[in-house]
Structure 1
Amino acid sequence: MEKLVRKQIQTLTPYMSARRIGGSGDVWLNANESPFNNEYKTDFARLNRYSECQPNELISAYAAYAGVRPEQTITTRGADEGIELLIRAFCEPREDAILYCPPTYGMYSISAETMGVEQKVVPLTSDWQLDLTKIEANLDKVKLIFICSPNNPTGNLVKREDIVALLEMTKERAIVVMDEAYIDFCPEASTVDLLSQYANLAILRTLSKAFALAGLRCGFTLANQDLIKILLKVIAPYPVPVPVSEIATQALSEAGLARTKFQVLDLNANRAYLQVGLSMISGLEVFEGWGNYLLVKFPDGTALFKAAWDTGVILRNSPIENCVRISVGNRDECEKTLGFIRNYYS
């Protein structure tokens, strides 16, 4: 196998998802999942037939929710497949590059590496904003720029004026990909309104977070019609299983949207509760968060993470020194986590 596998894959370190890392406990706040387990019904009919490549009802429902036209929308197996489609469609292996700004989501890098596409890294500034000067100096060969807002794992929003400046800078040169996986928790910060002004903008979305459908693996890419047509050339023939389409469409119904709105309000309230409680513990730095998680700096993040792990409170270590990411769960999970951290430092 080692002789046959591609060189890029021989040295590749896979993305360590929460499920790969594992753990054992009764408080799971490590994967930015929703604590709500909503019920859906499907009759599992027509499973002997292939699904539509892009189910019309699902596309129309999400387009209406996002405020775009159906022809500006493509559905994928989570936002992760959207990342892969964009790289596959626009980047020539060993010729082109992507650019991303850590600390941020790790799949941009891994997806590019698996396809033999160069990666250019321009770290965020000390306040976790775009370094536009360094980005401009590194645009040679870059076809895609991935920006996450709210950013994972930091939780902050990227300044809108910087996003607009980046779009202007890269006109007819590169595509700016805004990863809005967590935008449903702060919809007013979306860049979807900029689609009408910038042909070089693509937006990644998902039902995994606010819609409480992480196990469904259903995401979307929003862009101008010409870009969507290109992605349709490279997507798998039948990317959306029939049950996925049916459940996702139910989630996007009037009743489903009302439920999601209520649950988002509940999670945002729990985030505020967790933020205030953690801020009252001496020695901790709690960063402002706009998604369904908070980044917290501890005196010794690794020690805190391990101690919580050992007691069944499963959190997520981050690449930022001494920082641990805590997903926002239900009130009981937040209270248990806050209580554990208070006792740990008392």
Structure 2
Amino acid sequence: MEKLARKQIQALTPYLSARRIGGEGDVWLNANESPFDNEYQLTLSQLNRYSDCQPDSLINAYANYAGVNADHVLTSRGADEGIELLIRAFCEAGEDAILYCPPTYGMYAISAETFGVERKTVPLTADWQLDLPAIAENLDRVKLVFVCSPNNPTGNVMKRSDIVELLEMTKDRAIVVMDEAYIDFCLEESCVDLLAQYPNLAILRTLSKAFALAGLRCGFTLANPELIQVLLKVIAPYPVPVPVADIAVQALSEAGRARQKYQVLEITVNRAYLQAGLSQIPGVTVYDGWGNYLLVRFPDGDALFKAAWDAGIILRNSPIENAVRISAGSRAECEKTLTFIRNFYQSLIS
């Protein structure tokens, strides 16, 4: 059967998500999930009817949360579908390209490769910021420039002045796609206010992280109405199941947003606890994180990752040498992880 697949698919290495990698344990800090398991009420009625393509209640609820007009919002099956919609809508296979800046989220490349679209890379600078001169030199045939902020896996935010310069650079040439999957942990760093000034800006959002709804698969694209209308041409007829819209609207209600704000604060405190504790271990470097995770460089990252894995503490290895990404989970999970890492390095010394 594989011989019948398109050549790009035959050569494709799929994205190794946390769930695909697997693992067995009682501490899961590998997927940047929320430790909070919130409850919702479902009526489970009218399931015999198709859902609206873009349910008004959901669109209006997220528009209110994001501070934009409803015609600037599109909802999809997670932000990952938003990535695919943008590539399908704006890139001709075999002609156009996307550009992204590693180390960063791997699905930009996978989605482009799936559709036969060229991938151009301009690595981040030594301090993990945009290399604007190099981007300017590589914009030929580029339709989409993906920028993740806070960046996954490094955790840093991109300089606002650089984002503005990038938007100016790509005017009438390409769309800048700001992936703000983790922006709810630092809303003051969002680019949402730039939508009014730059029609070539699209912003990806999700309920998976700060709203503790990773299993719901509900994401959003924020953009000017003209861009949204283009995406509506290629989106599936019924992308949002009725129960998904129902739960998402509850999460975005006044009560749901109050709960989210409290939980974000607690996760941020746990992240700071992890950072402070890990920073005290000799030879360990902890990078500042603005999302719900930290990138940590160890003397031997692979050895630490495997030892934790064997102990049932599932972390996430990264493409950065000797670096491991650790989600900020519950306080109990963070304490257990920190204790294990301390003991691991203490055993090497003694």
Specify the TM-score bucket, using the shorter chain as the normaliser: over 0.9
Any idea what SS the aligned residue of 2:222 has? Answer: strand
Alignment partners' CA distance in 1, 2:150 and 2:77: 21
Q: Which residue in the other structure is 1:190 paired with?
A: 190
**Within the alignment, does 1:336 sit opposite 2:336 as a pair?**
yes
Equivalent positions of 1:117-266 (< 5 A) are 117-266=117-266
Any idea what SS the aligned residue of 1:40 has? Answer: coil
Which one-letter code corresponds to 1:335 in the other structure?
E
Shift of 1:68: 0.4
- Residue by residue over 1:148-199, the C-alpha shift from the partner in whole angstroms, topping out at 9 and shown as x without a partner, is 0000000000000000000000000000000000000000000000000000
Q: Which residue in the other structure is 2:100 paired with?
A: 100
Shift of 1:127: 0.3
Which one-letter code corresponds to 1:141 in the other structure?
R
Shift of 1:2: 2.8
Which one-letter code corresponds to 1:94 in the other structure?
G
> Is the 2:3–2:10 contact (alpha carbons within 8 Å) kept by the matching residues of 1?
no
Query: What number of residue pairs does the alignment pair up?
Result: 346
Identical amino acids, percent of aligned pairs: 77
Alignment partners' CA distance in 2, 1:335 and 1:253: 32
Q: Which residue in the other structure is 2:88 paired with?
A: 88
Any idea what SS the aligned residue of 2:37 has? Answer: coil
- Residue by residue over 1:200-228, the C-alpha shift from the partner in whole angstroms, topping out at 9 and shown as x without a partner, is 00000000000000000000000000000
Alignment partners' CA distance in 1, 2:58 and 2:309: 39
Alignment partners' CA distance in 2, 1:289 and 1:216: 25
**Within the alignment, does 1:28 sit opposite 2:44 as a pair?**
no
Shift of 1:43: 1.3
Any idea what SS the aligned residue of 1:99 has? Answer: strand
> Is the 2:104–2:152 contact (alpha carbons within 8 Å) kept by the matching residues of 1?
yes
**Structure 2 unmatched ranges of 5 or more:** none
Which one-letter code corresponds to 1:323 in the other structure?
A
Any idea what SS the aligned residue of 2:145 has? Answer: strand
Alignment partners' CA distance in 2, 1:225 and 1:2: 40
Which one-letter code corresponds to 1:237 in the other structure?
P
Q: Which residue in the other structure is 1:55 paired with?
A: 55
Alignment partners' CA distance in 1, 2:3 and 2:208: 38
Alignment partners' CA distance in 1, 2:206 and 2:334: 24
Any idea what SS the aligned residue of 1:134 has? Answer: helix
Any idea what SS the aligned residue of 1:120 has? Answer: strand
The two structures have a TM-score, normalised by structure 2, of: 0.99
| Structure 1 consecutive aligned stretches of length 4 or more whose deviation exceeds 3 Å | none
Shift of 1:242: 0.1
The two structures have a TM-score, normalised by structure 1, of: 1.00
Shift of 1:292: 0.2
